[in-house]
Amino acid sequence: MKNKVFGYCRVSSKEQNEERQILSLKNYGIEDRDIFIDKQSGKDFDRKQYSILKNVLRENDLLVIKSIDRLGRNYNAIMEEWKDITKNIKADILVLDMPLLDTRKNKDLLGTFISDLVLQILSYVAEQERSFIKQRQKEGIANAKNKGVKFGRPKIEKPSNYDYVIELWKNKKIMSKEAMEMLNLKPNIFYNFLKEDSKNL
């Protein structure tokens, strides 16, 4: 049976674009059907497509990724996964942006030592970058709050005719649908207001 070559892409959110990674993998000669894509944080390896990929990966297959941070951003987890794939599954890994990280080459002791060293440094850098991103986000939110920026959905105010319409509704003079139309409110907001009213009784 011929050894297979698989590609793996990851972006942190659905809004981010994975095209650059896919193009790199296709340029390497990997077909669409053999490329697995996750749109998820790299903090751990609990990812659907990555799990499927690991289930189909066999001895002497090759896993190709564009850069080490696409595999993940947690130092210890990257090292564990790398070890699991190369030692337990006995598949190879190639990192396109860092040709030194190609487990098919330099399988002697010195080569393994060098690639392990590079892997450790890059894994550490990936995790540090994740920490910096989180820190920048915290600082950005704190700064915005200091400037009076409000987060979350804006509070919806009750319409000026709310009490009058609700009184009609309570006295069964109008139906719920009519009340919503008169107040120009969606059902979920209408019932949320009623729930608030009942708490305040």
Mean pLDDT by 10 residues, the chain (201 residues): 89 84 95 94 88 95 92 83 89 89 73 67 72 70 72 75 89 89 89 82 59
The pLDDT assigned to 114 comes to: 62
**3-class DSSP state for residue 142?**
helix
pLDDT for the residue numbered 100: 80
Catalytic residue among 12, 24, 67, 115: 12
* Whole-number pLDDT of residue 43: 82
For residue 85, the one-letter residue type is I
Measured in degrees and rounded to the nearest 5, phi and psi for residue 150 equal -95, 135
pLDDT at res. 58: 95
Q: Is the dihedral of CA 58, 27, 32, 68 positive or negative?
A: positive
* Active site annotation includes 12: yes
Confidence (pLDDT) at 74: 82
Specify whether the backbone of 60 is left (phi greater than 0), alpha (psi in -120 to 50) or beta. left
